[in-house]
Amino acid sequence: MRRITALRTALSAVLLVGAWAGAGFPAASAADAPATTSRAPQASAGLLAAMQKDFGLTESQARARLSAEKTATAIQGKAKRAAGAAYGGAWFDASTGGLTVAVTSEKQAAAVRATGAAVRLVSHTARRLDAVKERIDTFDAPAGVSSWHVDPEANKVVVNVVSSARTDNDVRKFVERARAAGPVVVEQTGQAPRTFAAGTVGGDPYYTGNVRCSIGFSVNGGFVTAGHCGQAGASVSGWDGSAIGSFQGSSFPGDDYAWVSVGNGWWTVPVVLGWGTVSDQLVRGSAEAPVGASICRSGSTSHWHCGNVLATNETVNYSQGAVYQMTKTSVCAEPGDSGGSFISGDQAQGVTSGGWGNCSTGGETWHQPINEILNRFGLTLHTA
């Protein structure tokens, strides 16, 4: 784990502040009142360069996408209310640059379109699909079943099965029970999810015992991170070995979130580290990005990488136990990235939980949504 000495010296206090340092990340293992801003998206040259590289966009296309995603994020709540009981879910469509909302009745279509969203007529409401997913949550999942979530675009519940285990008897029985519960489609994934916690490596953001993890986001009085990184009461030291504080609350599995108090000369700032790849990013709120939107992750092992939101409210079947209400992304991550920041534009999204793959060959990563963590512990996000 190499560290940029000059950057680390300048930001020694910023690291503990909830900067995007990610480490100790468990692979696939981590009420809406988000803070929002009316300001236009403020994209640094570094962020635009990263989006151009990761998405194959020009600078003007990257700016246009960030603006379109900000608009989609702002209208999705209005569109959901307009759809009412006919609401079937929503997603950002990068090909059109707009939000698409699924509805089960043409009667609500005009009201939804009036919010600025496109409309697709579907068979199942989001409430129906959520109920099917919650029913599947009660099943005992074998190791060959990776995860499951509601896919609004497919209008079904997607069950992800590890390719090599698709013919396993226990996996087949699980799939049969899932299909009996409601509209379900099965997809294959290359690897099973696992946690990405890492052993002690010099110069990383923070340590608890012999585990290295990363700071997620600054909150008043501390920072949030992944629950698998430490239990309540565990002491935390910074990248330089000095005492930061201790875990004040932690939950894993079931959830994958925690918060750590900050003291001993450390303080918090609303910053996510760019690790020299992009400029350090200011955090201005926590409005949840829709499925299909771009999202980036900062971690102390693999630093800065971007991708798309693939699914929300996904149940991830780690070897330690299931974790619920996770968000799946196409962003890669590696051991040591646990707890780090997921951000979309200038809006905090969540803390790195786990995934599969790496940043050489690719993979997928899950994060625990930030607003759930804030609500659970009664915390306030530190914003710029």
Distance CA 215, CA 203 (A): 14
**HEC per residue, the chain:** CCCCHHHHHHCHHHHCCCCCCCECCCCCCCCCCCCCCCCCCCCCHHHHHHHHHHHCCCHHHHHHHHHHHHHHHHHHHHHHHHHHHHEEEEEEECCCCEEEEEECCHHHHHHHHCCCCEEEECCCCHHHHHHHHHHHHCCCCCCCEEEEEEECCCCEEEEEEEHHHCCCHHHHHHHHHHHHHCCEEEEEECCCCEECCEECCCCCCEEECCEEECCCEEECCEEEECHHHCCCCCEEEECCCCEEEEEEEEECCECCEEEEECCCCCCCCCEECCECCECCEECCECCCCCECCEEEEEECCCEEEEEEEEEEEEEEEECCEEEEEEEEECCCCCCCECCCEEEECCEEEEEEEEEEEECCCEEEEEEEEHHHHHHHHCCCECCC
What is the identity of the amino acid at 307?
G
Query: Catalytic site residues?
Result: 228, 256, 338
For residue 98, give both structure tokens. 């707009």
Distance CA 152, CA 126 (A): 7
Distance CA 380, CA 383 (A): 9
CB 246 within 8 A of CB 374: no
CB 178 within 8 A of CB 189: no
* Angle made by CA atoms 343, 331, 340, in degrees to the nearest 5: 50
* HSE-CB of 252 using CA atoms within 13 angstroms: 30
